[in-house]
């Protein structure tokens, strides 16, 4: 079956392209990396026909590089037919070379007693450097997805360093929040997860994010008609989604890893699949009341593999506008903290 130049297979645009796609991954030996790499190599991100070369980048520490060797040994032991090569390096110039996708997961975690401003600045240094190097050495069709927190602002910082690659190439992940919101709505309504559509995340990947239930539908009906408990939608629903990361740390003693890796798989796969509608943090362009210079979660439609348009025109009620103003303010404040790193 062919549609618009793509044969559709298992939801993937089946490409006849047998050139391996080069995927650079930072923080590759971390928790999320460990849950992610095997899925990429198995074809879950780029489809069952696209060969892959993994370019794994870790921090320049013996312990991290040793752990990375172990991960690469396990990848070898899986005998994935699509995996055509593994690069392991602590040199970003080597790791990002000719990369078609760069998945920026590695970041400095917030230490005990560390101020948010210091975290932003320390991570800023990492993403300034990575933004410059990706711009210099990655492939012409390079796409970047940022997961390392604070993801939206790290993404903005990396994009600010690019002269060759345009801002639309740089996206940050809010898909985990979308997936969490979808599940919570399905559970509340007592329906199958797949019945919930068009729930989008606006703003920052932080507890201020706004899962806009106003546009969401369940079995084709407005969520607000199906779930009559609107106080739940405005209160516990938003709180559960916004604080889910902290709840997982409290329960598991470690932050979300498998679900984050799954969300990144969804994020990239849907950005490679024309027609998909999903939440992605992108340069806001001033839409939905966001500052034009911040990267905010928004509904997007994938146009061609790797490219998208922001979906405009969803109606926002006063409650939604207030929530968006709060998450926008946080993004603007984060931008102000790193102003010296991005040249104002
Ligand atoms: P881990 O601490 O397990 O792994 C991070 C890895 O990054 C480590 O192996 C470290 O050596 C490496 N690293 C640090 N600086 C690096 C650099 N400059 N270059 C290359 N590698 C570097 O963290 P993990 O649980 O994997 O989480 C990674 C990041 O994802 C964190 O910032 C975390 O806050 C963020 N998250 C973002 C989510 C999102 O939805 N956007 C959800 C999950 C996750 O919390």
Question: Whose C-alpha lies nearest to ligand 1, atom 4?
Answer: 30
Provide the pLDDT for residue 2: 30
- pLDDT band, very low/low/confident/very high, at 6 (cuts 50, 70, 90): very low
Residues 307 and 194 in one domain: yes
Question: Whose C-alpha lies nearest to ligand 1, atom 35?
Answer: 148
Give the mean pLDDT of the chain. 94
Q: How many angstroms separate the alpha carbon of residue 2 from the centre of ligand 1?
A: 39
CA distance 88 to 11: 31
Question: Whose C-alpha lies nearest to ligand 1, atom 41?
Answer: 147
Residues in Cβ contact with 27 at an 8 Å cutoff, skipping those fewer than 6 apart: 33, 57, 58, 59, 104, 105, 106, 107, 148
List pLDDT tens digits, range 285-301: 999 999 999 999 999 99
Residues 137 and 180 in one domain: no
Residue 230 resides in a domain:
yes
**Which among 26, 32, 33, 246 is the best mutation to test ligand 1's pocket, defined by most ligand atoms within 8 Å of the CB?**
32
Domain limit, last residue, from 130, 154, 172: 172
- pLDDT band, very low/low/confident/very high, at 116 (cuts 50, 70, 90): confident
Percentage of the chain surpassing pLDDT 90? 89
Q: How many angstroms separate the alpha carbon of residue 125 from the centre of ligand 1?
A: 15
Residues 106 and 150 in one domain: yes
The tokens of 41 are what? 């190599």
Q: How many angstroms separate the alpha carbon of residue 94 from the centre of ligand 1?
A: 20
Q: Which residues line ligand 1 (CB under 6 A)?
A: 26-27, 29-33, 57-59, 64, 105-107, 109, 126, 147-149, 151, 173, 176, 205, 245, 255-257, 260
Question: Whose C-alpha lies nearest to ligand 1, atom 38?
Answer: 147
List pLDDT tens digits, range 45-78: 999 999 999 999 999 999 999 999 999 999 999 9
List pLDDT tens digits, range 155-185: 999 999 999 999 999 999 999 999 999 999 9
For the segment 25-29, the average pLDDT, to the nearest whole number, is 98
Domain limit, last residue, from 120, 149, 172: 172
**Which among 93, 148, 281 is the best mutation to test ligand 1's pocket, defined by most ligand atoms within 8 Å of the CB?**
148
Residue 332 resides in a domain:
yes
Question: Whose C-alpha lies nearest to ligand 1, atom 11?
Answer: 59
The tokens of 10 are what? 């298992």
Residues 157 and 40 in one domain: yes
Residues tagged active-site: 205
**Which among 24, 107, 297 is the best mutation to test ligand 1's pocket, defined by most ligand atoms within 8 Å of the CB?**
107
Atom of ligand 1 nearest to the CA of 126: 18
Query: Which is higher by pLDDT, 331 or 313?
Result: 331
- pLDDT band, very low/low/confident/very high, at 16 (cuts 50, 70, 90): low
Domain holding 137: CATH number?
3.40.50.720
Residues linked to residue 143 through DSSP beta bridges, in sequence order: 101
Question: Whose C-alpha lies nearest to ligand 1, atom 29?
Answer: 148
From residue 321, give the alpha-carbon distance in Å to each of 143, 181, 191, 251, 318.
31, 19, 28, 33, 5
For the segment 190-202, the average pLDDT, to the nearest whole number, is 98
Residue 297, domain extent = 175-339
Residue 344 resides in a domain:
no
Provide the pLDDT for residue 3: 32
For the segment 99-109, the average pLDDT, to the nearest whole number, is 95
Q: How many angstroms separate the alpha carbon of residue 93 from the centre of ligand 1?
A: 19
* Strand pairing class (200-202; 196-197): unpaired
Atom of ligand 1 nearest to the CA of 34: 26
Number of separate domains in the chain: 2
For the segment 202-219, the average pLDDT, to the nearest whole number, is 97
Atom of ligand 1 nearest to the CA of 173: 41
Residues 200 and 253 in one domain: yes
CA distance 241 to 181: 6
Above 90 in pLDDT, residue 320?
yes
Atom of ligand 1 nearest to the CA of 146: 41
């Amino acid at each position: 079956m062919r549609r618009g130049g793509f044969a559709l297979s298992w939801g993937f645009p089946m490409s006849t392209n047998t050139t391996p796609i080069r995927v650079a991954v930072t923080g590759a030996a971390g928790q999320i990396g460990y849950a992610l790499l095997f899925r990429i190599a198995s074809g879950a991100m780029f489809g069952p026909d696209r060969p892959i070369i993994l370019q794994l980048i870790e921090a320049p520490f013996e312990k991290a590089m040793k752990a990375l060797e172990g991960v690469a040994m396990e990848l070898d032991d899986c005998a994935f037919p699509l995996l055509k090569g593994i690069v392991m390096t602590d040199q970003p110039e080597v790791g990002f070379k000719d990369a078609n996708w760069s998945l920026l997961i590695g970041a400095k975690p917030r230490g005990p007693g560390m101020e948010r401003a210091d975290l932003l600045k320390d991570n800023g240094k990492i993403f300034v450097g990575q933004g410059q190097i990706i711009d210099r050495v990655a492939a012409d069709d390079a796409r970047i997805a940022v997961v390392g927190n604070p993801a939206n602002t790290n993404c903005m910082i990396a994009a600010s360093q690019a002269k060759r690659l345009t801002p639309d190439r740089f996206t940050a992940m809010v898909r985990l929040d979308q997936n969490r919101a979808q599940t919570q709505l399905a559970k509340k309504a007592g329906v199958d997860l797949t019945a919930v559509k068009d729930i989008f995340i606006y703003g920052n990947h932080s507890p201020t994010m706004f899962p806009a239930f106003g546009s969401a539908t369940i079995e084709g009906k407005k969520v607000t008609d199906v779930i009559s408990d609107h106080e739940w939608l405005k209160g516990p629903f938003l709180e559960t989604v916004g604080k889910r990361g902290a709840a997982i740390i409290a329960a598991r003693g470690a932050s979300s890893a498998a679900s984050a890796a799954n969300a990144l798989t969804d994020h990239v796969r849907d950005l490679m699949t024309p027609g998909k509608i999903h939440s992605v943090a992108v340069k806001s362009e001033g839409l939905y009341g966001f500052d034009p210079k911040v990267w905010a979660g928004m509904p997007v439609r994938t146009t061609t593999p790797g490219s998208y348009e922001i979906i405009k025109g969803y109606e926002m009620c006063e409650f939604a506008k207030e929530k968006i103003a709060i998450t926008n303010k946080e993004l603007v404040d984060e931008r102000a903290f790193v102003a010296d790193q991005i040249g104002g």
